[in-house]
Structure 1
């Protein structure tokens, strides 16, 4: 169900949405979960960012960028410098927007693993959603390495793939992967549509296709299949919507306040600036 402060279903239907965005709205309206938004604009921002994530995933699949483990990663050295660990550090003087777009325009020069791919396409989606000026203001000094990402690219973690929507990040786990190929312990993917996913190095496949691909990388004689885990991550849409109206300095000032950290079971909660937020490190 969807609840928007001061709005009704008829106003939602009048929004200029694409078919993908309308399908997300229909899925949320049918859900037993309550999705609350402070305004129509907040819902529309989420839908635009979700659709941009889906498009960024499809475009990365078509970019020519290759899959590689960290020790064999490569990048366009004109815009990025490769770190000893296999990450990519944006060179001084290069605009973040230019660095991200180059991966899509000159993909054959790049090779990286699936976690880095997810971060790259999230940056690309944020660039298309916020525009160059806002993106460059808030996402400076980029380092592309594993799940390293700018603090402004906030992610929220849930544990129910049943409530996953296009644009969400999911994880196919491969518990009995070949010991000599740890890079295939699982596959980070973007949900593109109902039973359609993109994973860097595997491509665009159904859930069965993802599982079949991972099962080919198991230990010899293994009978333990890969599977879609409950882990679901998506951007903090409410926070990201505020970035265009906030200065970089105000964001940095907020970060300067010491947080209060509490651990409950395996979950970590951070209380900062009078707000509680759950933190989880995603699987590799």
Structure 2
């Protein structure tokens, strides 16, 4: 099984000054980032979180268990547990948000355009899958998902097209859905179904909600001397991360209409380490085309955030 971790060198760069302590890999996947970090930092311990059973079982046999502890579940649910069970100070938190390449390539998971299923669940115990969204969501709800999660201009047309089609025959596969969209929408730089599949996947996995929950948990944990690095793959996630890091860095939190600072101007929780996101090099994109949309942003919680 070959797994290429996205932005591996950039991730190692962000965490280059680590020595000992515990790093939480919120999206362990098939262990690519964790393996690289373990090799780079011989004294580092890692707590890995993943909701995918296949990924967890793979890591149990391919990662050194004396240095890696694996938790089952979504990172938004398990991050608080990981923070509690760490046996040494938390020096880093890494999250690679999105679907792994191996999930995308596994046709049985229903993520790809040619998949014979319509699933898209990262956690296969999740009661909501793509089939339920596509075949049972009301037209207005589908339109909202396409507009907000896919930023699709023709969201109304797309929702109506799907509803009209499913009245004749429900969608059984991702291939049926992608073929329908390909027939009725222009093909520019990307496949016409790309943003629709993104929107449905976000809805099924509550991707924006779990990201916001993770960020909230990290803020409330009052971490010190801890580097937070998050890799995202589309503008909605990147916007949330960027804006959150900006809020964390603010020293003055007074309302904009206040003429003079009244808050004490000492509320900064740390500093942004990436003024611009780190992105893949041309060489990485050539080797792994899916890395072209990846962006890494990092923030470091400082010493005085135990307020």
Sort the TM-score into its range (normalised by shorter chain).
under 0.3
TM-score of the aligned structures, taking structure 1 as reference length: 0.25
Name the larger-Rg structure: 2
- Looking at secondary structure, tell me which structure has more strand per residue: 1
- Looking at secondary structure, tell me which structure has more helix per residue: 2
